[in-house]
Chain A
Amino acid sequence: MCLAAPARVLEVGDDTLTVDYGGVRTTARKDALAEDVAPGDYVLIHTGFAIRRLSPEDGEETLRLFDELTASLSAEGPVEAESASTQDSVE
């Protein structure tokens, strides 16, 4: 029920945003949104309300965090010798 999906902002109105929500053009209220948004930004939508701006760079930043964690752990070396795929993942 706390499902919230990213939608691309198409237009910014006084009270609402027009968004592309998985290919569907719809509106979302912006009175629960803390950040300013502009067309081209992404927002998380929950029950018809935008609740958070996602910047386009957030996707790459997320991947960087994943890679940083896995790289730091594989640098420490596998503590358990049982993982064969760990060897494959060391680059």
Chain B
Amino acid sequence: MTPSFHFADPARARKLGDAIRILSPAEPFKVVHVCGTHEMAITRNGLRRFLPETVELLEGPGCPVCVTPAAEIDTAIAIAEAGAIVCSFGDMMRVPGSDRSLDEARSEGCDVRTVLSASDAVAIARETERQVVFFAVGFETTAPMTAAVLLEDPPESFSVLVSHKQVPQAMAALLDLPDNRIAAYLAPGHVSTIIGTEGYEAWLEERRIPIVVGGFEPLDVLYALALILRQHRDGRPRVENGYPRAVAAEGNPVAQALLEAVFEPADAGWRGIGTIPSSGYRLRPEFAPFDARGRFDIDLPVERGEIAGCRCPDILTARAVPTDCPLFSTRCTPLSPIGPCMVGSEGACSIWFRYGGRESL
């Protein structure tokens, strides 16, 4: 028998919806998730309609390419202009740097290539004499793969522009922003596959809010939301695993060992938020020869300030939803995006534009 990992049957969805209603808090209760894949599941399936009026559900900094600072995109473009082949994931290509995107740089003659895996970038490097730079974006789910390719003796012409980020640190930083009112987190399932539920404890255990890891099927999301509300009702906030088929308490120790072997924690800039201590990675000294920042002498252009009228900084910090932005679907659309949240396919604005997301029905 073929097992099914697709969980969307309407009868169970109704029951989980009833559970959520039974657990409805009387006072306003803001739940934030930090994963574009969650936003996709929520918006595409209209899951917000299962929430009582008191519960808000917003995407925070859940789109890795959206939170990549313009200066890092500028650096990747400058490296491409210096003659290197720059490889990155497709999501990254159209995200604006200070004055253009990697896609625009490509149309001006730079050799910028889309890859599906860090391994693909190494494969390109093995077949050319030219310098090949992998622009490594993504959260803890993706960073171990960058580590894996660096551990298998890549060609000397290969290097990495590290822009990986760590989610629990950003979740903690968001709680410290003024006026955030975050009451609970729906934690990202596949980041948690790597770091485990234990990965949140160092950063968030003292914060005394419900943090529930959720999967990405419609029923997974409803289940995790019900667990969040049950913790709140019972006054027992903690880190809880709502996605045990893919997440162990200790996470994936092999992937963690890859990270540990290659990277050390470093402060990192998040678009819309600013610098968050220890929320990124840098290469350990023994891997410094593969650091693209050291290999190419890049004079960073001055980063452009915030885009007038664009509310991406508020959306990325879960202080606004796309429809709060005056540019949303008027001047800013996927075909002519103004802010990063409309560009990245996992950005809240892009998802709401495509799937008609509303705060409530």
Contact = CB atoms under 8 A, between A and B. Distances in A.
Interface of A: 1-4, 6, 29, 31-34, 42, 44, 46-49, 51-52, 54, 56-63, 65-67, 69-70, 73-74, 76, 78-80, 82-83, 85-86, 88-89
A54 B245 contact: yes
6 contacts: A1-B139, A2-B188, A6-B5, A32-B145, A66-B7, A89-B18
B33 to A, nearest CB: 12
Contact of B12 (A44, A46, A63): A63
Contacts of A1: 36-37, 63-65, 89, 91, 137-139, 141-142, 346
Given A2-B191, A32-B254, A42-B3, A51 B14 contact: no
A70 B193 contact: no
B245 A70 contact: no
B116 interface: yes
A73 B145 contact: no
A51 B19 CA distance: 32
A2 B148 contact: no
Interface in B210-244: 219-220, 223, 226-227, 230, 244
Most chain B Cβ neighbours within 10 Å, of A34, A65, A85? A34
- List 8 A-B pairs, minimum CB-CB distance, nearest first: A48-B117, A58-B245, A70-B15, A2-B141, A56-B3, A2-B190, A86-B18, A34-B254
A86 B144 CA distance: 44
A49 B148 contact: yes
B252 A70 contact: no
Interface of B is mostly: helix
A41 to B, nearest CB: 10
B5 A32 contact: no
A58 B5 contact: yes
Interface of A is mostly: mixed
A46 B141 contact: yes
Contact of B22 (A3, A78, A88): A78
Nearest to A91: B15
B24 interface: yes
B78 to A, nearest CB: 23
A2 B12 CA distance: 26
A20 B271 CA distance: 37
Nearest to B24: A80
B253 A34 contact: yes
Most chain A Cβ neighbours within 10 Å, of B19, B63, B193, B253? B19
A32 B223 contact: no
A33 B189 CA distance: 16
B18 A85 contact: yes
Interface in B252-279: 252-255, 258
B321 to A, nearest CB: 21
